[in-house]
Amino acid sequence: MPTQNGELPIFNLYINGQWRPPVAEQYRATYDPATGEALAYIAQADIEDTRLAIQAARSAFDDGYWPSLPPGERSRLLHELVDAIEARQGEIADAEMRDGGCTWRKANLMDIPVGLIHFRHMAKLANFEPLEPVPQIAFPSLSYNYVRREPIGVCGQVIPWNFPFLMAIWKIAPALAAGNTVILKPATFTPLSALKLVEIIHDTGLLPPGVLNLVTGPGQVVGPELCTNPQVDKIAFTGSTEVGREIMQQASSTIKKVTLELGGKSPNIILEDADLDIAVDGSLWAVFMHNGQACESGTRLFVPSSIYDPFMDRLLDRATRLKVGLPSDGATDLGPVISAGQLASVERYIELGLEEGATPLMLGVRPSDPELAHGNFITPTIFADVDNRMRIAQEEIFGPVLCVIRYDSVEEAIRMANDTIYGLAAGVWSTDVERAISVANRLRAGTIWINDYHLISAEAPFGGYKQSGIGRELGTR
Ligand code: NAD
């Protein structure tokens, strides 16, 4: 529950069912990336605070009644929680927009409703039958054998800034559904929607103390403690491949279970029989949704030589109509990127693309509109004549930059699409669905959309091949 410091609210840590100041009393402001305005002061946990949260989660798991609740009862409570969150979803959407630069449209029409659907799916799955008889075919025996599905225990969960609410749901909902206890650490840039979510859950009084804990603070401090503390049973991390590598190393000291959802450089392949109107708009949506700040963004667009000119004419025509603006404006397509550092990084990649010899069909610049002068805004970039071996085609830029790669044969497109260290997602566009499926089957990626992009079903497992991660989220078990 926030308190006030002058004009700004102060958010504390949520440990053992209570809001409490950090031991060292350190706070950090969080800012609106569209205006530069400070929004709130956020508690900065240190190792001691993190240990207190771990202890609370441990006790709630070892002594508490949450893990041993009958599944039907846990499912009922979780459904009640989702109803309470839904009733206050406007507060979460507002936090998502102001703290993360997410457009009003995306927050209200996509992230929050999708998060609620995914939470409901997990609440439903919570009502599972924990005992599964083992068939006695391979090893006939007089005894009765069964598998009992049990919660893992204390789950440390670390999430990124690009989809703060959705990522919080993807972490806490399945963990709670299975009877685990949780310590969630939101990203430093975007703590507000997770804090709002926990505030709403706290207000319901439905979860026993210690079942859900939230620690805000620096990843380099909180993260290593969650990863190495022997009282934590599992680490679920979503973020960059670079930090994922560190997490895996740290977690190995106590052989923790690890789920990693990491970066991507996803290929989006246009086949020559694609419906151009749908494929052009779909390709722009694939790469520029949330400014390219999505792990699964279709950042490498493969276009066949046979339709290259008409496709690119339409692509440019549509791209020039994209509106860069304030997230609160319902007409805005691209809001700000998350931080000044991220903006500078995107600009460095644009420079690099020019140095590497890519042709800029649209070159990203900071917009001149005075209304946007204090935010981290940049217009979209489209590079043509990109060689798949260029760094702009291999490294995750995480900004509004599209690399267009021309191809002559589908074989060549598939080979280049797979030529990456990542394997999170892909897209294929064709009017011949069977042909599209045969191409999709040869792509090494966890999720592949056909004539669509970014829609993530709660029923389908999500996760990466190769250095895009380990394990799956969502799905049915
Ligand atoms: P990041 O790796 O910099 O940070 C992610 C989280 O890790 C943050 O909460 C951060 O505070 C924390 N952290 C930082 N250093 C840490 C450390 N040493 N130990 C433990 N935790 C630490 O990522 P980001 O910049 O917040 O997010 C963007 C990245 O996330 C992109 O690479 C994107 O592809 C990826 N991502 C992946 C998925 C997916 O489902 N695969 C979804 C969203 C984002």
Mean pLDDT of 303-314: 98
What is the model's pLDDT at position 238? 98
The pLDDT score that the predictor gives to residue 270 is 98
Q: What does the alpha-carbon distance between residue 196 and residue 1 come to, in Å, rounded to a whole number?
A: 8
- H or E, element range at 288: helix 276-288
Summarize pLDDT for 85-135 with one digit per residue, the tens. 999 999 999 999 999 999 999 999 999 999 999 999 999 999 999 999 988
- 172-210 confidence digits (pLDDT tens): 999 999 999 999 999 999 999 999 999 999 999 999 999
Residue nearest to atom 35 of ligand 1 (CA): 239
Is 223 close to ligand 1, i.e. is its CB under 6 Å away? yes
Question: 89-100 and 112-125 are packed helices; what angle lies between their axes, rounded to 10 degrees?
Answer: 120
Q: Is 73 a catalytic residue?
A: no
| pLDDT given for residue 143 in this prediction | 82
Q: Is the pLDDT of residue 5 over 70?
A: no
- Render pLDDT for 360-417 as a digit per residue (tens, 0 to 9): 999 999 999 999 999 999 999 999 999 999 999 999 999 999 999 999 999 999 999 9
Q: Give the atom of ligand 1 at the shortest distance from the alpha carbon of 241.
A: 32
Q: What is the pLDDT of residue 22?
A: 98
pLDDT at 417: 98
Answer whether 260 contacts ligand 1 (Cβ < 6 A): no
Catalytic choice (199, 261, 396, 473)? 261
Task: Specify whether the CB–CB gap between 402 and 383 falls below 8 A.
Answer: yes
Kindly give the distance from the C-alpha atom of residue 237 to the centroid of ligand 1, in angstroms, as a whole number.
7
DSSP state of 175: H
Residue pair 96/186 in contact (Cβ under 8 Å)? The answer is no
Sequence-ordered alpha helix ranges (H) in 8-126: 47-62, 71-87, 89-100, 104-106, 112-125
Give the integer Cα–Cα distance in Å for 396 and 403.
11
In the chain, the N- to C-terminal Cα span, in Å, equals 34
Tokens encoding 419: 């030529």
| Confidence grade of residue 1 (pLDDT, cut at 50, 70, 90) | low
CA 446 to chain centre: 14
Average pLDDT over residues 252-275: 98
Q: Is the CB of 338 under 6 A from ligand 1?
A: no
Domains and CATH numbers, the chain: 3-261 (3.40.605.10), 267-458 (3.40.309.10)
* Residues 59-96: tens digit of each pLDDT: 999 998 999 999 999 999 999 999 999 999 999 999 99
Report the chain's mean pLDDT, rounded to a whole number. 96
Check residue 140 and give its pLDDT: 66
Contact 437, 226 (CB under 8 A): no
Q: b vs e for 149-175, b when ≥16 Cβ sit within 10 Å of the residue's Cβ? A: eebbbbbbbbbbbbbbbbbbbbbbbbb
Q: Measured from the CA of 250, which atom of ligand 1 is nearest? A: 19
Give distance in angstroms: CA of 313 to centre of ligand 1: 36
Whether 48 is a known active-site residue: answer no
**Helix/strand/coil for 455:** coil
One of 155, 227, 295, 403 is an active-site residue; which one? 295
CB atoms inside a 10 Å sphere around CB 239: 23
pLDDT band at 477 (very low <50, low <70, confident <90, very high): confident
Phi and psi angles of residue 178, each rounded to the nearest 5 degrees, phi first: -85, -5
- Which residue pairs from 64-73 have beta carbons closer than 8 angstroms and sit at least 24 positions apart in sequence? 64/181, 64/208, 64/210, 64/211, 65/208, 66/176, 66/179, 66/181, 66/207, 66/208, 66/211, 67/150, 67/151, 67/179, 67/180, 67/181, 68/179, 69/179, 71/126, 71/127, 71/128, 71/129, 71/130, 72/127
Q: Are the C-beta atoms of 430 and 273 separated by less than 8 Å?
A: yes
**Euclidean distance between CA atoms 347 and 364, whole angstroms:** 8
| The pLDDT value given to residue 77 | 98
